[in-house]
Chains A and B, each alone.
Chain A
Amino acid sequence: MKKNIIITIIAIILIFNYTPINYILKENYTYSNFDGSFTFSEEGGKGFNYTSVIRAYTYFLCQHPEKDQGDNRLYRTFAFKPWCFWEWGQMIFHSDRFLLSYKKR
């Protein structure tokens, strides 16, 4: 009985993390620099990923060297919601984005 419950829970977590259901639930991870002059959205699994974000921000800093002075950190503007089990796959295997400091939009 206990084994069945554990298997069911694992199956639900996998289904919500690795099937098209995840596309529906997936958050549009959004980012910003310190003053909001740079913003980026991963568009919820349609094309962009965290590497795209870093690439875009690097390009932005090259184009706007004045923004590279002082606080040039990239911030996440999405809230970290550990209870969203459909994001656990991203949190475990692509944790970089969650380690960024949070900045309210």
Chain B
Amino acid sequence: MKQKLIGIILFFIVLTACKKDQKNTPSIIQDNGNLSLDQVKQWHKPDTAFSVNWNDASFIHNKKGSYWMVGITGRPLFQKQKLGYRRLSFYRDSIGNIQEHTLEIIPDQLYLQRKQKVSSADFTGRIFIYNTSRHLLAGEIYQNGKQTGVIKLQAATTGSLHTASAPVVIDEDWYQYGYTDSEGNAVIVAEKVYTISGGEAEGSPGNTSDPGAAAANPTGGGTGNPTVAPSPSNLPGEDHAAVNPKELIKCFGNIPDQGATMKVTIYVQEPFPGTTFNYGPNSVGHVAIALTKSNGTSSITQIVGFYPNASGASKMHAPSKIVDNSSLDYNVNINYTVTADNFNAIANYISNPPATYDISDFNCTNFVYNASKAGGITLPDPYNTIGLSGPGGAGYAMTPAGLGNSIENLKDNPNVNTNGGTAPLGKGACN
């Protein structure tokens, strides 16, 4: 009896803990009667500072209502970048009057970099909704096409902060920051992300923007092509994780080729050292390539690896990035002395890495193998069996385990080390 009582209490505690946050921002759009584009054009008062692109007008009808959406010039500044774009929406309110809202749509930088374009199905970012008086009515946060949070105006601090958009305070669940809207005004807002347990966010607050309508096809408005991925993102720390290989390779220019010794070293961190297992204590393992150029007392080493610029399941196939592999723990390595021409050919390959990472078709091992090949080096056989035998059969791919095992088999060669160690520090970027 006592156990049952405890069980029931626990059940209700869990139910209470999982209760969704209340979302109480008022809905904005009302659907009331037909509205033609001509009516909208006649009603709209042109603004000399911004032009409307009526040619890309689209009529949206969803369960939240019906409205027209058109592009408009001007781009908001978010995290110091002109990143977003704007659209106007027109609808009839509950008493039949035409209403206008300005939507400032700011895709998440990382999302935009990965996807290269905005789509309604997976829109990730923020949408700010203004009325004609430039008063922020509401804001919405989207993740993979679904609303996951709300944004409200932080009136208490309006005007007291600069526009750098640096986070300034965390107040309970609300996260406060600033951004600069398309008209150059500093807007201090607070946002709150809530959890959606699955499916659509029922009763999402102010869900006027519907990324399907607002975020998709956003090229209108005469703003050029706002959906092109921004140049290097200013996400915190992102610069540190990925390196620009060109800046690393540039350092070798500080040492003259004449009389220089050039060496290429391949470092392998095996997944399960001493075996051909593709997974083990070192996860899937890793292969890195180091270039060393020495002349007299000067010596420069750069060591890099090829990675997916993604996390989670996206790591299987994703845009690539080069990472500085200084101090990598390795199990085996093999080194080669090369000519200046071959050294430069490898350096050139590393400077222009393939754009896409694929865990089986083009991973860190493929990258190092191809880089070496560009410099006339044929590495020991890196192929290994992957997957399970059975229907469809096992596949073969270049893997750290395959390359590591083949290098281990050459352990009597003078250029092979099978005792492991820590890779040297690379010099880093040279601007």
Query: How far apart sit A51 and B283, CA to CA, in the bound complex (Å)?
Result: 15
Interface contact B279-A104, CB-CB below 8 Å: no
Interface contact B307-A20, CB-CB below 8 Å: no
- Interface assignment of B224: CB less than 8 Å from any CB of chain A: no
Query: How far apart sit A50 and B282, CA to CA, in the bound complex (Å)?
Result: 12
Residues of B near A26 (CB, < 8 A) are 283
Query: How far apart sit A27 and B364, CA to CA, in the bound complex (Å)?
Result: 19
Residues of A near B284 (CB, < 8 A) are 20, 23, 45-46
Residues of A near B312 (CB, < 8 A) are 24-25
Interface contact B288-A47, CB-CB below 8 Å: yes
Residues of B near A39 (CB, < 8 A) are 236-237, 240-241
Of B284, B328, B422, most buried by chain A (CB within 10 Å of CB) is: B284
Of chain A, the residue at the smallest CB distance from B278 is A20
Interface contact A40-B240, CB-CB below 8 Å: yes
Interface 0/1 of B238-274, CB less than 8 Å to A: 0011000000000000000000000000000100000
A77 CB to nearest chain B CB (Å): 8
Interface contact A43-B307, CB-CB below 8 Å: yes
Query: How far apart sit A39 and B241, CA to CA, in the bound complex (Å)?
Result: 7
Query: How far apart sit A32 and B327, CA to CA, in the bound complex (Å)?
Result: 18
Interface contact B286-A44, CB-CB below 8 Å: no
A67 CB to nearest chain B CB (Å): 14
Query: How far apart sit A105 and B278, CA to CA, in the bound complex (Å)?
Result: 33
A38 CB to nearest chain B CB (Å): 8
Q: Count chain A residues whose beta carbon lies closer than 8 angstroms to a beta carbon of B.
A: 31
Interface contact B323-A36, CB-CB below 8 Å: no
Interface 0/1 of A45-70, CB less than 8 Å to B: 11111011001100100000000000
Interface 0/1 of B7-37, CB less than 8 Å to A: 0000000000000000000000000000000
Residues of A near B278 (CB, < 8 A) are 20
Query: How far apart sit A104 and B173, CA to CA, in the bound complex (Å)?
Result: 13
A75 CB to nearest chain B CB (Å): 12
| Chain A contacts with B in 57-105, Cβ cutoff 8 A | 59, 77, 104-105
Interface contact A55-B364, CB-CB below 8 Å: no
- Interface assignment of A28: CB less than 8 Å from any CB of chain B: yes
Interface contact A24-B313, CB-CB below 8 Å: yes
Query: How far apart sit A41 and B305, CA to CA, in the bound complex (Å)?
Result: 14
Interface 0/1 of B176-218, CB less than 8 Å to A: 0000000000000000000000000000000000000000000
Residues of A near B117 (CB, < 8 A) are none
- Interface assignment of B153: CB less than 8 Å from any CB of chain A: no
Q: Contacts A46-B284, A47-B325, A47-B328; is A28 near B170 (CB within 8 Å)?
A: no
Of chain A, the residue at the smallest CB distance from B269 is A47
- Interface assignment of B425: CB less than 8 Å from any CB of chain A: yes
Interface contact B237-A105, CB-CB below 8 Å: yes
Instruction: Specify which of B167, B305, B311 is in contact with A44 (CB 8 Å cutoff).
Output: B311
Interface contact A104-B170, CB-CB below 8 Å: yes
Of chain A, the residue at the smallest CB distance from B279 is A20
Interface contact A24-B326, CB-CB below 8 Å: no
| Chain A contacts with B in 1-52, Cβ cutoff 8 A | 19-20, 22-28, 30, 32, 36, 38-41, 43-49, 51-52
| Chain B contacts with A in 269-313, Cβ cutoff 8 A | 269, 278-279, 282-286, 288, 305, 307, 311-313
Interface contact A24-B316, CB-CB below 8 Å: yes
Interface contact B283-A23, CB-CB below 8 Å: yes
Of chain A, the residue at the smallest CB distance from B170 is A104
Residues of A near B285 (CB, < 8 A) are 46-47
Query: How far apart sit A40 and B283, CA to CA, in the bound complex (Å)?
Result: 18
- Interface assignment of B315: CB less than 8 Å from any CB of chain A: yes
A51 CB to nearest chain B CB (Å): 7
B329 CB to nearest chain A CB (Å): 7
Interface contact A51-B279, CB-CB below 8 Å: no
Of chain B, the residue at the smallest CB distance from A56 is B327
Query: How far apart sit A56 and B288, CA to CA, in the bound complex (Å)?
Result: 17
Interface contact B279-A52, CB-CB below 8 Å: no
Of chain A, the residue at the smallest CB distance from B325 is A47
Query: How far apart sit A66 and B86, CA to CA, in the bound complex (Å)?
Result: 44
Residues of B near A27 (CB, < 8 A) are 311
Interface contact B328-A52, CB-CB below 8 Å: yes
Interface contact A24-B315, CB-CB below 8 Å: yes
Query: How far apart sit A35 and B316, CA to CA, in the bound complex (Å)?
Result: 32
Of chain A, the residue at the smallest CB distance from B288 is A47
B63 CB to nearest chain A CB (Å): 33
Chain A residues with a Cβ under 8 A of chain B: 19-20, 22-28, 30, 32, 36, 38-41, 43-49, 51-52, 55-56, 59, 77, 104-105
Given contacts A46-B305, A47-B286, 16 further A-B contacts (CB under 8 A): A20-B284, A24-B312, A26-B283, A32-B237, A38-B240, A44-B283, A44-B311, A45-B282, A45-B283, A46-B286, A46-B364, A47-B285, A47-B323, A59-B326, A59-B327, A105-B236
A-B contact pairs, 9 of them (CB 8 A): A26-B283, A27-B311, A32-B236, A39-B240, A41-B237, A43-B241, A45-B282, A56-B326, A105-B236
